[in-house]
Structure 1
Amino acid sequence: MKLFVLCTTMLVALFAFHPLSAQQSGPSLTVKKLFTLLDNPKSLINKEDECFKEVDGLDILKLNKPYIRVYLNNLKNTGLFSSAYLSEKEKYYQQMEKDIAKDGYATGRDCDEYTASQDPPEYKEILAALQKTAPVVTGNTATITLRFKSIPGYKLVYKLVKVNNDWLIDSFDSK
């Protein structure tokens, strides 16, 4: 009887802590790693500004093409982004190059890239929201929607894909 009670207690404990452990791995872990890197000023992921050789306000007048390659490789080497995401980033810089050739400038982003917001929540708020949010997983895709008490109506939506057993960020948006 004691063995039955012990086994039942352990089983209940396992299920009680499952949501917490699930959020420490899989899609949530990928997003957590992203914001851990972003919170480190020395992280190479924070060096996108070096892709722009000449800037006037939000207008980008000249690209640093050799560094764009380096930056895209830095993103790839994080192991956090899908090939589709990286391809879109490359197209983003190609479009900037076309705009500069045509108009003499390209318009830069006027918001934080990874939160799609001009006044994004602090990274510790994002990580706290991530702890409270369970990803919605459907086969090899997952969606994580983060909401913040400090910013009513604002939410971050990360879409991830599973490739070779790794969850990779495929896209993100704010709503």
Structure 2
Amino acid sequence: MLFAFHPLSAQQNDPASTVKKLFTLLDNPKSPVNKENQCFKEVDGLDILKLNKPYIKEYLNNLKNTGLFSPAYLAEKEKYYQQMEKDIKKEGYASGRDADEYTLSQDPPETKEIMEALQKSKPVISGNTATVPLSFKNRYKLIYKLVKVNNNWLINDIDASYPK
């Protein structure tokens, strides 16, 4: 009987499942993952003039609580906001992202397209690291890099490659 459950638990804890869970959350407008704009108190176009520091802590905690991101990923996000604060103090503004954070695109694929790419994806696992490549018709390839922490696959980085 134990053997019947093993494939199911392994299937739920594979790298592609982690990426799928991220996009399931992103598809829900009420998800805390979609609330990054609340980290910015005052903006002018893409320029960020003032940060909402209390909310940044809440936002980072919300990301942590999803159980989808590695400690290293979360530390980089924290550094990102710290750098913004330094830029605002020095220049009067910080440049915001001009692309979607999770798809690295100004014109991100629809969730349906992402889920289709996930179904076709072949994760590459090497010990405690994995990559989940997602290819989009003649547009680009997204590469989710994951690490295994406490037997869970967590997103550690997101990269993209573009056709030449």
- Would you call these one fold, judging by a TM-score over 0.5? yes
Equivalence map 1:9-158=2 (5 Å): 25-149=13-137, 152-158=138-144
Structure 1 residues 23 and 157: CA distance shift in structure 2, 3 A: farther
The structure 2 residue matched to 1:162, chosen from 143, 148, 151, is 148
* Aligned sequence identity (%): 76
Runs of 5+ in structure 2 lacking a partner? 1-6
Distance 2:160 2:110 in 1: 15
Residue type at the aligned position of 2:29: P
Q: Secondary structure at the match of 2:105?
A: coil
Q: Secondary structure at the match of 2:22?
A: helix
Residue type at the aligned position of 1:156: L
Deviations 1:115-169 (A, max 9, x none): 00001111111111101111000000000111012xx140100000000100000
Residues 23, 131 of structure 1: 8 Å contact kept: no
Runs of 5+ in structure 1 lacking a partner? 1-17
How many residue pairs end up in the alignment? 154
Distance 2:129 2:25 in 1: 23
Distance 2:64 2:97 in 1: 21
Distance 1:47 1:100 in 2: 21
Residues 133, 143 of structure 2: 8 Å contact kept: yes
How far 1:91 moved relative to its partner?
0.0
Distance 1:40 1:153 in 2: 25
Distance 1:101 1:83 in 2: 27
Distance 2:77 2:60 in 1: 8
With normalisation by structure 1, the TM-score equals 0.85
With normalisation by structure 2, the TM-score equals 0.90
Residues 18, 155 of structure 2: 8 Å contact kept: yes
* RMSD of aligned Cα (Å): 1.5
Bigger CA radius of gyration: 1
